[in-house]
Amino acid sequence: MNPLLENFETPFGTTPFSKIKNEHFIPAFTKAIEIAKNEVDQLVNNPEPPTFENTVAALDYSGELLSKISKIFFNLNSAETSPEIQAIASEVSPMLSAFANDISLNENLFERIKTVYNNRDQYELNAEQKTLLETNYKNFVRNGANLSEADKETLRNIDKQLSQNSLKFGENVLAATNRYELHLTDHSKLSGLPEGVIEAAAMTAKQKNKEGWVFTLDYPSIIPFMTYSSNRSLRKEISLANGSKNFKGDELDNQQIVLKIVQLRHQRARLLGYDSHAHFVLEEQMATSPEKVNAFLNDLLTKSKPKALQEITQLTEYAHKLDQIETLQSWDGVYYTEKLKQELFDLDDEKLKPYFQLDHVIQGAFLVANKLYGLEFKQVNNIDTHHPDVKTYEVRYANGNLAAIFYGDYHPRPGKRNGAWMTSLNTQFIKDGINNRPHILNVCNFTKPTETKPSLLTFNEVTTLFHEFGHALHGILANTTYPGLSGTSVYRDFVELPSQVLENWCYEEEALRLFAFHYQTGETIPMELIQKIKDSSTYMEATRMVRQLNFGMLDMAWHTTDPSHIESVGTFEKEATQETQLYPYNDQNNISTAFSHIFQGGYASGYYSYKWAEVLDADAFEFFSENGIFNPEIGTLFQEHILSKGGSEHPMELYKKFRGKEPDSNALLRRAGLLEEANLS
């Protein structure tokens, strides 16, 4: 029997990972696609006239088994992959793409949807039903329902190629990340590195059966090395290794894949009647158009770049005074930023890390959720996981009812891609009077415990954990009727609000005192350190903002340009990012060839959304700050109108219901300390 095709006889219907073998996936996908097709056929062939319930709702509820299998498989492909999993992904992705096209290009199905849409005023639809109907209708139109048969076939071919190229892009990035290591055997080359970083590198070397110390391109390894190593030549080496990933002209080079992806996206957009991929994507976002996004990004650049250049000048003068550095390079930035921060604020991550033991920070996030939303998290050991490192929790409402199952996967390993993300194994929805509760995952890459120390986080990692937990709460507290509108199924430039707003609690004394205890003494983090965290929160903020704008503008450049004229990935990127360069350009480096957010993930024409959502989150947190960061009434408003509603209404309407007004665009500049520099009132 194939466990993927059986009812999961497990606690809360959780995934039985230990029973699932690689050979189960292809047959399971094949069967699930067949079942989903049959469900759609029954819907299309229904002799009854089309209604909202028998057409729109029925379509949204269809494919439940296929969705479940897909979530399990693609979680493994990101967090626990292998050559076998990657081979399956290469076979499965075109199957899924073809199935999606079979749905979106089904003329008879579209006719039923269109009939309901054209007669929508005859039905007494609530806000969520109206949104689902409109979303479905637009999705069909935006995915080729009105195309000729020949153009539909072209679209199928484009989508198949896009699926294959995006997979290959991600596989190459992971392989290039895993291939590099900086192996040191001379202790003098570890100068400047904290004891914990050295110990972690020794443990990595031991795992690789090597003497000495090994540093990799995994974030918990490269970031502290770049931050603390006083060996400039080694900082340069590992920085260039990271920056030139998939840009070396070898078998893992992604340049042609990048060009192919943007060409296919442009062709697809043009086929559907749009000027560019960005025009296609942004039509259904809060920002609405590339022109509005570019105006937003350029406005932030105008207001932040002068201050960023001042910050870099100050940093360069400091590096010259300290080490006679004439020209600050990209591999110097993090190092001297940390040095100057220590001097200006008497604060560094090594002083903070003892207060941020991973287990304590996790519990702190849970306590914040408890105070805001009444949630209770209980760790349990009877739920199967995809790796022994993964922790599992029952999440319950204040009334004791199950809210969700939560998985925490916090440490790097060879089969796991870099970064941090939230995903789900089970979507929330209400059907036949039953509220199916979600199974939510947070996946991060934090330093593993060593023989002498638990996992201790940098402050940046603390905010990362809270960020991803904010996404998790969006899933955990989901409470919509239809799966297609549940949880994080919202506009891309709205989805970062729940995650980014939660980061603010990391800077507040009232929240830090819940979880920031010294791992050895149990001492609560001193008030003076909390004050230094707040004082330093806007340090180099303009530089950080310009860096984010650099990514957003590069994304928009790739997806608003006719790619048929692009001959060189390197030249195109250099020109696209010219206005956001703060350090000398290095032609060995390339962002695009490892820019997984836009070439493998779902952020193409959407990277700007991080800054867009920062405006929302800064404005939202001002509301909390003015009324108390644990004010239960404000928490209830945020839960009721943002976290539980998913995509059931337009995000601006939801935001106004929470806040009582539209967001103040100056809130972000106020928080960043850039309002004065921007000469705004």
Spatial separation of the C-alpha atoms in residues 506 and 510, rounded to whole Å: 9
* Contact indicator for 348, 334 with CB cutoff of 8 Å: no
* Contact indicator for 478, 431 with CB cutoff of 8 Å: no
* Contact indicator for 63, 36 with CB cutoff of 8 Å: yes
Q: Return the C-alpha torsion angle 355, 525, 632, 658, nearest 10.
A: -70
Encoding tokens for residue 346?
């008497």
Spatial separation of the C-alpha atoms in residues 42 and 315, rounded to whole Å: 66
- The alpha carbons of the chain give a radius of gyration, in whole angstroms, of 25
**Bridge-based pairing state of the strands 421-426 and 439-443:** antiparallel
Q: At what angle do helices 569-576 and 541-560 cross, to 10 degrees?
A: 130
Encoding tokens for residue 404?
């969700």
* Contact indicator for 480, 648 with CB cutoff of 8 Å: yes
Cβ neighbourhood burial of 677 (10 Å; 0-12, 13-18, 19+): middle
Do you know the residue count of the chain? 681
Spatial separation of the C-alpha atoms in residues 199 and 214, rounded to whole Å: 10
Tokens 């609690």 locate to 505
Q: Which of 64, 394, 461, 468 is catalytic?
A: 468
* Contact indicator for 296, 608 with CB cutoff of 8 Å: yes
Verify whether residue 468 is a known catalytic residue.
Answer: yes
Which backbone phi and psi does 407 adopt, to 5 degrees?
-110, 135
- Outline where DSSP puts E strands in 189-320: 213-215
Tokens 């709205």 locate to 494
Q: Three-class SS of residue 426?
A: strand
Q: Name which of 542, 520, 561, 562 is nearest 611 in CA terms.
A: 542
Count the neighbouring beta carbons within 10 Å of the beta carbon of residue 531: 13
**Bridge-based pairing state of the strands 439-443 and 402-409:** parallel
* Contact indicator for 411, 221 with CB cutoff of 8 Å: no
Bridge partner list, 402: 396
Spatial separation of the C-alpha atoms in residues 433 and 431, rounded to whole Å: 5
DSSP annotation string for 94-154: HHHHHHHHHHHT-HHHHHHHHHHHHTGGGS---HHHHHHHHHHHHHHHHTTTTS-HHHHHH
Question: Which residues does 45 contact at the CB level (< 8 Å), separation at least 6?
Answer: none
Q: Which residues are catalytic?
A: 468
